[in-house]
A = this chain, B = another copy of it.
């Protein structure tokens, strides 16, 4: 109420609302995979950017270092990721994805591909959307 004329809905809210729908959709997928969204994001980062020390992994994924610890413990216990001593720095760990982790990631991509979440968009629009998203992400440090 009492909203001025020409008031435009903040884009962030629209995205957030959309993410809530996506979260609903994906809960069953997560259930099948037995893994949470943050853990999946970690695997994506590891798969695309090779071995990373945890501090760098935290920067890339925007997941706090403290939160990352428990996440990596879980991933390691399932043999989806691996912590190895970093030869160049005895403080750091070189975290890498395992073959099992890569396989799970592929399965996750298949699940999203089979989902009709983006059905309202044509292939062309979908490509535009992805491109704009990528541009935004790169602009904010990948």
CB pair A10–B108 under 8 Å, yes or no, is yes
- In chain A, positions 33-83 with a C-beta closer than 8 Å to chain B are 37, 40-41, 44, 46-48, 50, 61-63
Contact with A24, one of B8, B14, B62, B135 (Cβ below 8 angstroms)? B62
Count chain A residues whose beta carbon lies closer than 8 angstroms to a beta carbon of B.
Answer: 66
Cα-based distance from A137 to B118 in the complex (angstroms): 10
* Contact among B1, B16, B21, B133 for A11, CB-based, below 8 A: B133
User: Which secondary structure characterizes the binding site on chain A?
Assistant: helix
Docked CA distance A106–B12 (Å): 14
A12-B134 contact given A1-B96, A4-B106, CB 8 Å threshold = no
Each complex incorporates copies of this chain amounting to 2
**Docked-complex contact B21 and A62, CB < 8 angstroms:** yes
Greatest chain B CB density within 10 A among A24, A50, A101, A118 is at: A118
A128 with B137: in contact, given A22-B12, A48-B9 (CB under 8 Å)? Answer: no
* CB-contacts of A124-139 with B (<8 A): 125-126, 128-130, 132-139
Given the contacts A1-B99, A15-B15, A37-B16, A136 and B121 also touching, CB distance less than 8 Å: yes
Contacts of A108 in B (CB 8 A): 10
Query: Contacts A15-B22, A129-B129 given; 6 further ones with Cβ under 8 A?
Result: A3-B48, A9-B44, A10-B109, A15-B15, A17-B62, A24-B62
